[in-house]
Amino acid sequence: MRTIEWDDDRDCIVMVDQTKLPGEYTTYHAETIPQLVESIRRLRVRGAPALGAAGAFGVALAARRNEAATFDDYADAVAADAESVANARPTAVNLSREVETVLSELRACTSIPEARERTLAAATDVADADVERNERLGGNGAALLSDGETVMTHCNAGALATVDWGTALGVVYSAQEAGKEISVIANETRPLNQGSRITTVELQQRDVDVTLIPDNASGLCMQEGMVDAVVVGADRIVLDGGERFGDQGVVFNKIGTYKQAVMADRHGVPFVVAAPHSTVDTERSADEVEIEERDPDELREIYGTRNAPEGTAVYNPAFDPTPMELVDYLVTETGVYEPPLDRTTFEAAERTPA
């Protein structure tokens, strides 16, 4: 199944419950808006593209479950539900963007039955578009990999971060589909361990050979010649590096990505960023991107067991910036780009539907 989709039988949302990984691979049905909001907050579903689909299906869920007597009351109630979904995680731009996509479809309707049908169709389109985009992206990136190579990846930019196929791991799946045997070294990705908890699971499900390492071992792996390419996703890419990085663009991705990029550079290993075009922010400079600091208890405790003395001071940034000078290839659904990015070409590609 997909990471998140519509269950026609139960007329509700069904998702892989990622809070249960790696212990159990189970699904969770969100039949109400509060259940969906709680699922987003608790990270049952995570990853920017998957959250976009969650938002889209959320509006459809509200539209199909609401029993208001008049269309006006109905539309108001669905909009209120939509807002609570959009705000479940305020930093994920895809979530609110796709809530709005489906809500604008509802605004064009004139009856409740029509709205019930069209919102679900629109949400399904959002989900399908994500999968198609990732498959195109994967196909573009696969050309960079040769049979028998080993890819190192950081965090989880795979099927479980998207509706399906994934971005960084989509490149691996597309290469595999093209008949190339690719192995993966998965960094554990402290402090939330998405590499060990999620990336291993989805690679094993797709019969990709995967070896888990502590983040600390990635330098040694490169020294030992075990890595042919590093492929990671991106949370946001800016083309203007601001004060710290100047002219060059910057990739914001899971904390530790910068260290991987520096190690890859030192060892002559290609460093590949795989992300949809929508990740590229052509407006903002790196200076304007705030790096989210997460709960200190993510370090002080692990799985509920004390890992550092109570009250220990912690610095726990979720992302770090990698300057484009360290990026060899940027792979999107429109092609493979070699930084420094030519802003004009890149923006033109963005406007052209691939």
Annotated active-site positions, please?
Answer: 235
The answer to the question of residue 158 lying near a copy of itself (CB under 8 A) is no
Q: How far is the CB of 298 from a copy of itself (least distance, A)?
A: 8
Name 304's Cβ contacts closer than 8 Å, sequence gap at least 6: none
Q: Which of 279, 326, 276, 338 is nearest to 138 (CA)?
A: 276
The answer to whether residue 194 forms part of the interface with a copy of itself (CB under 8 A) is: no
Among 189, 194, 332, 334, binds a copy of itself (CB under 8 A): 189
Q: At CB < 8 A and 24+ separation, what contacts does 89-92 make? A: 89/40, 89/41, 89/51, 91/292, 92/48, 92/51
Binders in 88-147 for a copy of itself, by CB under 8 A: none
Choose which of 17, 81, 188, 333 interacts with a copy of itself (CB under 8 A): 188
- Torsion from C-alpha of 159, 61, 28, 21, nearest 10 degrees: 30
Amino acid at 335: G
d(CA 187, CA 209): 14
Of 146 and 204, which has the nearer Cβ to a copy of itself?
Answer: 204
Binding flag, residue 299, a copy of itself (CB under 8 A) = yes
Q: Does 22 bind a copy of itself (CB under 8 A)?
A: yes
Neighbours of 306 (CB within 10 A): 9
Q: Cβ 150 to a copy of itself, closest distance in Å? A: 11
Question: Which region, judged by CB under 8 A, interacts with a copy of itself, from 57-65, 99-107, 310-318, 343-351?
Answer: 310-318
Amino acid at 353: P
Q: Which residues bind a copy of itself (CB under 8 A)?
A: 22-23, 185, 188-191, 193, 196-197, 200-201, 204, 209-221, 223, 244, 254-256, 258-259, 262-263, 266, 291, 299-300, 302-309, 312-317, 320-321
